[in-house]
Amino acid sequence: MRSVFPATLKGLAAGLARGDFTSVDLTQHYLARIAALDPRLNSFISVYPERALAAAAGADAARARGANGPLLGIPYANKDIFCAAGTRTSCASRMLDSFIAPYDATVVERLTAAGMVMSGKTNMDEFAMGSSNETSYYGPTRNPWNLDCVPGGSSGGSAAAVAARLAPAATGTDTGGSIRLPAAFCGISGIKPTYGRVSRYGMIAFASSLDQGGPMALSAEDLALMLNAMCGFDGRDSTSAPRADEDFTRELDAPLRGLRIGLPREFFDAALDPAVGSCLEQALAVLRRLGAECREISLASTAYAIPAYYILSSAECSSNLSRYDGVRFGHRCADPANLEDLYTRSRAEGFGAEVKRRILVGTYALSAGYYAAYYAKAQRLRRLIKEDFQAAFADVDLIAGPTAPSVAFRLGQKAADPVQMYLSDIYTTAVNLAGLPAASIPAGFVNELPVGLQLIGNYFSEAKVLNVAHRFQGETDWHQHTPSWIGST
């Protein structure tokens, strides 16, 4: 078996098509890397070697019969928020530690239909609530670039796995930045599609009006290939957008001459680390050389995005997580004295501190006497944020800025201060409130830690976002850098 394989999905697909290696070879390679390197990272909750090798053998048999899809036989890592039949789907919570999914999420169905091989389920913040991957019941994931730093959350396990070359691609979910922030912190590419693009069926809910699944990979081209498989209307999801399938690779090489890029003054403020800002200026200079025009814009209402987001998302999580009561499914306490004791102790034991905090905030915001003051006002702010974006897109084609105000911080640095932790999402939450597509791509390093450039598009303009990202990556090599300790792929 080969010891080194191409890094990207496109390279792997070409090698498989030529017969340079088989899917079984490739899957064994990534399983070996997981076994050797993941004990230092803790990026996986569950690994399924037998299942993966059986799927890989099936992909090789399909190829022998003449099949040749762009993702056929390529392994991927699946965030442990997506149900996959017969596997533990825990959401990194004690509450669901013993839950075995009885069916596949639509995302898993579609990736399986494309011939991809699921190697395992990745670590995450509990029920996707967090910005650092430190709230997991199974312990924190570590950043491959510095093992003392966080990988970002909530999709930190997926990001770390891709960055450490334990998988060439992974699924993630983004409720307030949970694909983009870990992509930035780990130096990979990730995209949150327009709300409704990717079915939420089988994706365990945190905040239903904000949650959106998406891919994480090394390059924008790989994201496009993953989106081609993941997107599509699903009648089982009432929020699924009734859009025709499209090829997200179609505009990758389109020229950027004449493209109008908006730079929100609110994103280049005092909260932004000057060293990160310097990297972004250099990245924007690359886009200008490619023919794009950058102009300052204002998104004034985004100043209220953090409070609006945390009220609305907490309110929705309070409702969604009420189903975990120790009766129907989820953790059940031992020897309850009565029904009230069953509810109280099962939830107290099953949920971690951050989940409890958000349930309490959400329940308070929805309670009689406070609904109008908090929840209703946050909904009005959400509308204003959406209107600000729409006004901006009347004058520009794309919006660019930082993904995060700093590079990855140290494990434990913000764990005792929830407000400081929440401010990690200062540049990402507005996108979810508006339901827009946005990507984060690598744009440099500060203190040997990656910096992310965020690209925000108008509704259903993922192909244009990926076009700009791809052209940028054609001029830079930030997305090709790897942590020195992980070895060759």
pLDDT tens profile 411-433: 999 999 999 999 999 999 999 99
CATH code for position 63: 3.90.1300.10
Verify whether residue 43 is a known catalytic residue: no
Ramachandran area for residue 187 (φ above 0: left; ψ -120 to 50: alpha; else beta): left
Is residue 171 within 8 A of residue 77, CB to CB? The reply is yes
Classify the C-alpha dihedral 237-243-247-250 as positive or negative.
negative
- Which DSSP letter does residue 482 get? -
In a domain, 373, yes or no: no
**Residue 154 preceded by cis peptide, ω within 30:** yes
In a domain, 57, yes or no: yes
Residue range 276-305: average pLDDT? 97
Q: What rounded mean pLDDT belongs to the chain?
A: 97
Q: How many residues does the chain have?
A: 489
In a domain, 412, yes or no: no
Per-residue confidence band for 251, with pLDDT thresholds at 50, 70 and 90: very high
Residue range 249-263: average pLDDT? 98
At residue 329, the pLDDT reads 81
Q: Answer whether residue 22 shows pLDDT above 90.
A: yes
Q: Please give the full DSSP string across 294-361, using - where no structure is assigned.
A: EEEE--GGGGGHHHHHHHHHHHHHHHHGGG-SSSSSS---SS-SSHHHHHHHHHHHHS-HHHHHHHHH
Residue range 311-325: average pLDDT? 96
What is the total count of domains within the chain?
1
For the full predicted model, state whether its pTM sits above 0.75. Answer: yes
Q: Please give the full DSSP string across 429-463, using - where no structure is assigned.
A: HHHHHHT--EEEEEEEEETTEEEEEEEE-STT-HH
Residue range 3-13: average pLDDT? 92
Nearest to 203, CA basis, from 77, 81, 78: 81
pLDDT tens profile 131-146: 999 999 999 999 999 9
At residue 328, the pLDDT reads 84
Verify whether residue 406 is a known catalytic residue: no
Per-residue confidence band for 147, with pLDDT thresholds at 50, 70 and 90: very high
At residue 488, the pLDDT reads 67
At residue 294, the pLDDT reads 97
Q: Answer whether residue 2 shows pLDDT above 90.
A: no
In a domain, 223, yes or no: yes
Catalytic site residue from 90, 154, 189, 240: 154
At residue 369, the pLDDT reads 87
Max distance between CA atoms of the chain, in angstroms, equals 70
At residue 209, the pLDDT reads 97
Domain extent at residue 20: 9-260+461-486
Residue range 328-334: average pLDDT? 91
Q: Encoding tokens for residue 201?
A: 């069926």
In a domain, 98, yes or no: yes
Structure-token match 């992310």, residue found: 452
Helices (runs of H) and strands (runs of E) counted in the chain = 15, 11
Three-class secondary structure of residue 267 per DSSP: helix
pLDDT tens profile 359-405: 999 999 999 889 999 999 999 999 999 999 999 999 999 999 999 99
pLDDT tens profile 195-208: 999 999 999 999 99
Query: How far is residue 181's CA from residue 424's CA, in Å, rounded to a whole number?
Result: 8
Is residue 134 within 8 A of residue 92, CB to CB? The reply is no
pLDDT tens profile 169-182: 999 999 999 999 99
Structure-token match 């791809």, residue found: 470
At residue 4, the pLDDT reads 84
Is residue 181 within 8 A of residue 454, CB to CB? The reply is no
pLDDT tens profile 344-366: 999 999 999 999 999 999 999 99
Per-residue confidence band for 326, with pLDDT thresholds at 50, 70 and 90: very high
Structure-token match 């009689």, residue found: 368
In a domain, 384, yes or no: no
Buried b (16+ CB within 10 A) or exposed e, 116-142: bbbbbbbbbbbbbbbbbbbbbbbebbb
Other CB atoms within 10 A of residue 353 CB: 11
Q: Please give the full DSSP string across 93-147, using - where no structure is assigned.
A: -GGGTT-B-SS--HHHHHHHHTT-EEEEEE--SGGG--SSS---TT----BTTBT
Residue 19 CB contacts under 8 Å (≥ 6 apart), including other chains: none
In a domain, 99, yes or no: yes
Angle between helices 23-41 and 9-18 (to 10 degrees): 150
In a domain, 133, yes or no: yes
Nearest to 399, CA basis, from 286, 277, 295, 255: 295
At residue 125, the pLDDT reads 98
Which stretches does DSSP call E strand in 282-327?
293-297
At residue 487, the pLDDT reads 83
Other CB atoms within 10 A of residue 264 CB: 23
- Which DSSP letter does residue 374 get? I
Verify whether residue 199 is a known catalytic residue: no
